[in-house]
Amino acid sequence: MDKILQTLLEKVADLHGVPEGAYNIRANGQMAGRNTTANIDIVTREDGKGIDVHVKPGTKKESVHIPVILSQTGLNETVCNDFFVGDDADVTIIAGCGIHNGGDMESRHDGIHRFFVGKNAKLKYVEKHYGDGDGKGERVMNPRTEITMDEGSYMEMESVQIKGVDSTKRDTVAHLAAGAKLVVQERLMTHGRQDAESRFDVCLDGENSSANIISRSVARDQSHQAFYSNLQGNSLCAGHTECDAIIMDEAKISSLPEITANHPDAALIHEAAIGKIAGDQIIKLMTLGLTEEEAEAQIVNGFLK
């Protein structure tokens, strides 16, 4: 693996070499390494379009790394991965996609991830997106995440787009059975002429299911962001969406959150706010010796932390 791919790997999966536990590294459309454990199996799908990850019931404190890195300009791929997390398991799955585009053609990775979270299982899923490279070619990532949560299961999804992705459409669909709980934390920053769209469809189907979706984003320069969510309460359930955005320069942000109560015992709340950094916050930091740019950067970093 060359230096560029290694840098990407570090950015999207915090990996400085080969990870511990189970992993599958995909580099420029090819498998670049795989490891399985006694409890976690990774198999290439029969159609060759992705992998199936099987986590045995009761597996505790194990992790799976499945980074995807691209450094070849013009590469355009769609990958379908399925994750079967057995009953009572407690695992962390770290996905990430890094694209370095040094050429003039579009490089694109579309990932479809399906999660089947077993009864009373706990899953932490981390997804990081990163792009760099001096080429004129666009860096495009369109992740789709489909989540099916069985009774009493818990899933925490952390979705981060750090930098350098020119265009992204992020789609997340979830169905929750009785007692299941989903927590989503999305952090997004766009700059230049980037375009980002994020969509969440969460169905609270089972009794006592709950969801908490928190999106924080910063739009700079001439970038454009759109946030859509649809929280459906179909039983006694609790749902909360929060969407806070900082707007800077000539950016545009739109937020379109929907909550639908199809059941009288559904309790749903949504909050959204779009605004710029308060002037007095910047002035306060400037009196401490920071320049205006440094003050802004510090506030933005704190907001996205």
Say whether residue 260 binds a copy of itself (CB under 8 A). Answer: yes
* Number of residues engaging a copy of itself in binding (CB under 8 A): 31
For position 292 contacting a copy of itself by CB under 8 A, the verdict is no
CA atoms of 179 and 198, how far apart (whole Å): 26
251 touches a copy of itself by CB under 8 A: yes
Identify the residue among 245, 282, 295, 299 touching a copy of itself (CB under 8 A).
245
Query: In 3-state terms, what secondary structure has residue 295?
Result: helix
Furthest-apart CA atoms within the chain: distance in Å:
62
* Contact pick of 27, 40, 75, 247 for a copy of itself (by CB under 8 A): 247
299 contacts a copy of itself (rule: CB under 8 A): no
CB of 246 to a copy of itself, least distance (A): 10
Containing H/E element for 51? strand 51-55
- Closest approach of a copy of itself to the CB of residue 98, in Å: 30
Among residues 58 and 275, whose Cβ is nearest to a copy of itself? 275
257 binds a copy of itself (CB under 8 A): yes
Of 270, 206, 268, nearest in space to 235 by CA: 206
Question: Residue 214, interface with a copy of itself (CB under 8 A)?
Answer: no
| Nearer to a copy of itself among residue 133 and residue 233 (C-beta) | 233
Alpha carbon distance 151, 132 (integer Å):
41
| Cα first-last separation, the chain | 31
Tell me if 185 sits within 8 A of 155, measured CB to CB: no
C-alpha–C-alpha distance, residues 233 and 271, integer Å:
17
Is residue 255 close enough to count as binding a copy of itself by CB under 8 A?
A: yes
Span near a copy of itself by CB under 8 A; candidates 4-12, 88-96, 177-185, 252-260: 252-260
Residue entry with tokens 């490279």: 133
Minimum distance, C-beta of residue 245 to a copy of itself, in the bound complex (Å) = 8
Distances from the Cα of 205 to the Cα of 123, 186, 263, angstroms:
19, 23, 10
Residues 6+ apart with CB under 8 A from 39: 55, 56, 59, 62
Q: Give the residues across from 238 on adjacent strands.
A: 210, 267
268 binds a copy of itself (CB under 8 A): yes
Determine whether 53 is exposed, middle or buried from the number of CB atoms within 10 Å of its CB (0-12, 13-18, 19+).
Answer: buried
The CB-of-41 to a copy of itself minimum distance in angstroms stands at: 42
| Closer to a copy of itself by Cβ: residue 128 or 220 | 220
Region of 104-112, 116-124, 151-159, 274-282 interacting with a copy of itself (CB under 8 A): 274-282
Query: Applying CB under 8 A, does 194 fall inside the site for a copy of itself?
Result: no
Residues that bind a copy of itself (CB under 8 A): 233, 245, 247-262, 264-276
